[in-house]
Amino acid sequence: MKFIDEYRDPEAVRRYADEIARITTRSWTIMEICGGQTHSIVKNGLDCMLPDKITLLHGPGCPVCVTSAAMIDKAIALASRDDVIFCSFGDMLRVPGSRRDLLSVKADGGDVRMVYSPIDAVHIAEKNLDRRVVFFAIGFETTAPANAAAVYYARQKGIDNFSMLVAQVLVPPAIEKILNAPDCRLQGFLAAGHVCTVMGYAEYEPIAEKYRIPIVVTGFEPLDILQGIHMTVWQLEQGRARVENQYSRAVKRAGNLPAQKLMADVFETVDREWRGIGLIPKSGLALRPAYRKFDSEAVFDIAAPDPEIVGECISGLILQGRQKPSDCPAFGKRCTPEHPLGATMVSSEGACAAYYAYRQKESPHIKPTSGKH
């Protein structure tokens, strides 16, 4: 296929769903890792087209959703300083920290700017040499190369008023965290195609072997996802557990080697706190000592964050596939995109936002929305 609409062809989608039903003889529970996949599934009603025997659970692959409240509190502390221009992707601005969000800092006069790329923040630093510019570096392996490139560029150019607050996270340790839970009922994974475009998929092979679970690297269009589910179900029905690549038009087993080299030069692996999930060993990236002067946590004296307030938000359970958004008592009532209680209702990749946008008919108490968050 050459064109994107071919991956959305309703007839082809229906035929694939029928084929999945034909090969399914037992009950299977499968998790899609990525929030982009979750949105495609919910938006296109793909889960509703599958046989009742197949349950899809939504995973932790929404970077905004898993950034800890403590890290957002640090971002808020930095953004509140008079000498700082704080740059962030737009989704992060409305995610609550322990007590407030970045947008409220901006409303109070803080210089908080939305950028589309980390290099935009570096350019802001170049033009504002009397200010200190901080970029909030969040995301999975997908964003890490661009963030690494921005720091690398800043060092090459000697732009010393630029730094990063790094909250990067890694997918494979999160998969293992979910699989190690005593009540884990997952039997297959759809791995995130864009993450694997960077990292390849060799690092998933030991996981598939250790836990005897199929992992299929999958894209984001409706046909991609149904094909990924088909490949996963076929393995399960055959009693096989290996890594396969549905997204071969973008992903190679070794991934993008120059991007990996840049990441390895700039970042090192660290333990990382995930929002609602807790500490996951070796699941984060931080700047190496050679880049310490670009590390916001090293160059600023950031006040210790408030302890995380655990309210009624169950997004941590949703991100681990233990609950669905519609299981949350606050969903669509006390928690809406206009008044989010948790990150999964804010982010454009959050599962709660997807259910709110596309599942009104199943939850009649939910107000209609434009679907744009």
Strands 188-192, 278-287: pairing is: unpaired
- Cβ nearer to ligand SF4, comparing 94 with 177: 94
β-sheet bridge partners, residue 280: 272
Sign of the alpha-carbon torsion through 57, 58, 61, 66: negative
Give me the least distance between CB of 343 and ligand SF4, in Å please: 7
- Cβ nearer to ligand SF4, comparing 190 with 314: 314
Residue list 259-318, contact with ligand SF4 (CB under 6 A): 312-315, 318
Separation between Cα atoms, residue 125 and residue 5, nearest integer Å = 40
Give me the least distance between CB of 80 and ligand SF4, in Å please: 25
Nearest to 32 by CA among 149, 193, 268: 193
- Cβ nearer to ligand SF4, comparing 39 with 132: 39
Entry field: residues in the chain: 373
- Cβ nearer to ligand SF4, comparing 84 with 335: 335
- Cβ nearer to ligand SF4, comparing 305 with 340: 340
| CB contact at 8 A, 283 and 274 | yes
| CB contact at 8 A, 218 and 32 | yes
Give me the least distance between CB of 324 and ligand SF4, in Å please: 9
Nearest to 142 by CA among 59, 198, 72: 198
Structure tokens at 368: 């209609």
Residue with tokens 């009693």: 239
- Cβ nearer to ligand SF4, comparing 39 with 230: 39
Give me the least distance between CB of 359 and ligand SF4, in Å please: 12
Residue list 91-110, contact with ligand SF4 (CB under 6 A): none
Residues contacting ligand SF4: total by CB under 6 A: 16
- Edge-to-edge strands, sheet with 188-192: 54-61, 28-34, 188-192, 215-218, 243-245
Among 102, 352, 357, 366, binds ligand SF4 (CB under 6 A): 352
Give me the least distance between CB of 96 and ligand SF4, in Å please: 10
| CB contact at 8 A, 223 and 8 | yes
Interaction pattern, residues 309-348, with ligand SF4; x per rule: CB under 6 A:
---xxxx--x------x--x-xx---x----xxx-xx---
Give me the least distance between CB of 188 and ligand SF4, in Å please: 24
Tell me which H or E stretch contains 344.
helix 343-346
Give me the least distance between CB of 345 and ligand SF4, in Å please: 4
Give me the least distance between CB of 257 and ligand SF4, in Å please: 38
Nearest to 246 by CA among 287, 188, 330: 188
Separation between Cα atoms, residue 106 and residue 127, nearest integer Å = 20
Residue nearest to ligand SF4 (CB): 342
- Cβ nearer to ligand SF4, comparing 293 with 334: 334
- Cβ nearer to ligand SF4, comparing 231 with 318: 318
Nearest to 192 by CA among 17, 31, 11: 31
Give me the least distance between CB of 307 and ligand SF4, in Å please: 18
Separation between Cα atoms, residue 233 and residue 188, nearest integer Å = 8
- Cβ nearer to ligand SF4, comparing 240 with 367: 367
Structure tokens at 341: 């209680």
Q: Which residues bind ligand SF4 (CB under 6 A)?
A: 312-315, 318, 325, 328, 330-331, 335, 340-342, 344-345, 352
